[in-house]
Amino acid sequence: MSRKEQETRAGTETMKAEAKIQNNEEEAEELKAKDQRLASVFGVADLKNGAIGLYNVGQSCCLNSLLQVFFMNIHFTGILRRITVPPCAMQKKRNVPYQMLLLLEKMQCGKQKAVSPIDLACCLSEYRVKLFVQHDAAQLFLNLWNLVKKQMKKPELVEELSNLYTICVQEHLACQKCSLETKRNSNMLTLPVPVLDTNSRALRTLEKCLQYFFHPEELTDHNMCFCEQCGRKTPFLQSMKLVHLPQTLTIHLKRFCFEESAYIHKLSHYLPFPQDLDFNAVLTENQCQADDSEKAAWQYELFAVIAHSGSTSCGHYCAYIRSLTECKWYCFNDSEVCQVSWDDVKCTYGHSNLHWGETAYLLIYMKKHPQ
């Protein structure tokens, strides 16, 4: 299995979540009351109290950053607010979307500088998302997203959530000996783009990284695949074509390098990314498998950056998010939130001589014209 395939798998991997639903009649009444209260809560939330921090509850900077990215995405909160409230207290405690909503409500209504996500963190720990552990933001994002998706009861919400985040690509495998070609559609939550090319040279820009990601790869030698037509292992040409891009596009810069198997190191070199990203300008005709209306919508602008500082073993995450309502950038460092500018975001491009500073790790782009 090639590297890319693995990544694709990782992207589509879902968390096996338990979904124990207990129907408890007794709590039906309480549910109604809660619903009413929630409605009033939404009203307050719509007042837009601005960016609120999240206390670090123990290595939770990664979770905090991701949560902020979720909460600042009005498309996501639009879905979250329509979830079904679990009937009983026990379920509420274990329901990730509900806990997220509660946290959002807490952030939005209280005129506090920051709130503590401890309840959500405890809830997540039920699902093997451990507390007090340094997470990888990309991994945690997938876990969190899958949990949310799993635990949403309403199918229309699930679909909406999927549409909001899922990238569709078509994988092509062509035997170089005969003309056999296999195609396979797959969905991904993130585009895990490499920051080095095959010769371990640093790629210059995000666009270059994307191009490299979609560049056809020859599978030779021990990477050869079995061709049914030829009846033996033959060299294949593997390529990926872009079919669909979602409203919220997450790009994962693979800055953690696994080259020397045991030792993971961080690549902190300079890699600029644009505020406005047009995939039509980045990819060639061959690398797309989409109609014109789909392609026309491939205009993106940067919405958030999750940046990592420090080394692989110990580090810190923070999130730079552009408020969709105010169109202003904020930086979320756990409980500290402050308004920043694009210049601050640019600081996360990285620096070849500085290894401990903030470098962008996850880039979240937002479609300019929602479909």
Sites of contact with another protein (CB under 8 A) = 53, 55-56, 58-59, 111-114, 116, 132, 309-310, 314-316, 318, 331, 333-336, 338, 340, 343-344, 346-347, 353-358
CA distance 208 to 271: 10
Taking the least distance from each CB to another protein, the nearer of 4 and 135 is: 135
Could you tell me the smallest distance in angstroms from the CB atom of residue 354 to another protein? 6
Taking the least distance from each CB to another protein, the nearer of 219 and 360 is: 360
CA distance 115 to 102: 11
- Spatial CA neighbour of 136 closest among 277, 315, 271: 315
Provide Rg for the chain, Cα atoms: 22
Could you tell me the smallest distance in angstroms from the CB atom of residue 239 to another protein? 38
Could you tell me the smallest distance in angstroms from the CB atom of residue 342 to another protein? 10
Catalytic residue status for 244: no
Could you tell me the smallest distance in angstroms from the CB atom of residue 38 to another protein? 24
Q: Give the three-class secondary structure for 14.
A: coil
DSSP string, 341-370: -HHHHHGGG--TT-SSS-EEEEEEEEESS-
76, 118, 330 from 51: Cα distances, Å: 16, 18, 8
Taking the least distance from each CB to another protein, the nearer of 78 and 110 is: 110
Taking the least distance from each CB to another protein, the nearer of 149 and 316 is: 316
Q: Retrieve residue 334's tokens.
A: 């756990």
Catalytic residue status for 61: yes
Could you tell me the smallest distance in angstroms from the CB atom of residue 142 to another protein? 25
The one catalytic residue in 75, 135, 269, 316 is 316
CA distance 247 to 159: 13
Return all residues near 331 (Cβ < 8 A) that are at least 6 apart. Answer: 318, 319, 320, 337, 338, 339, 340, 344
Q: Retrieve residue 224's tokens.
A: 């050869």
- Find out whether 174 and 158 touch, Cβ atoms under 8 Å: no
Taking the least distance from each CB to another protein, the nearer of 226 and 356 is: 356
CA angle 162, 144, 243 (to 5 degrees): 30
Taking the least distance from each CB to another protein, the nearer of 33 and 327 is: 327
Could you tell me the smallest distance in angstroms from the CB atom of residue 114 to another protein? 8
Return all residues near 19 (Cβ < 8 A) that are at least 6 apart. Answer: 150, 151
208, 252, 253, 292 from 211: Cα distances, Å: 5, 14, 13, 20
Could you tell me the smallest distance in angstroms from the CB atom of residue 306 to another protein? 13
Taking the least distance from each CB to another protein, the nearer of 173 and 271 is: 271
The one catalytic residue in 61, 123, 227, 318 is 61
Active-site residue set: 61, 316
